[in-house]
Amino acid sequence: IDEAQCRMLFRQVKENLKDVNYDGSLLKLNDLLLAVNGNGEIVRDISGSPLVVICNFEHIWECSDVPMFS
């Protein structure tokens, strides 16, 4: 994949996290893996997009509706 597609997938991962109430704003590109099969081909999800796997969960936080500090 090229850099533009890489960045698009990165944005999509962060949007998907936000949709389920998680903050992935501290993730970096090297915190993600592109899934490949045994033949070295990119694995795709049901929509046909390359499957991206988060490999560093230290930078993902659950969002809270209640502020921690007053």
- The CB density around residue 37, as the number of other CB atoms within 10 Å, is 10
Res. 65: pLDDT tops 90:
no
The token pair at 1 is: 């994949």
Position 13, amino acid: V
Residue 20 in any domain: the answer is: yes
Give the pLDDT band of residue 64 (cuts 50, 70, 90). confident
Question: What confidence tens digit (pLDDT) does each residue in 29-39 have?
Answer: 999 999 999 99
Whether 29 and 10 have beta carbons less than 8 Å apart is answered as yes
Residue 41 in any domain: the answer is: yes
Residue 10 in any domain: the answer is: yes
Whether 27 and 14 have beta carbons less than 8 Å apart is answered as yes
Q: By residue range, what is the domain housing residue 10?
A: 3-62
pTM: 0.78
**C-alpha atoms less than 13 angstroms from C-alpha of 29 in its C-beta half-sphere:** 7
What is the count of structural domains for the chain? 1
Res. 69: pLDDT tops 80:
no
Residue 56 in any domain: the answer is: yes
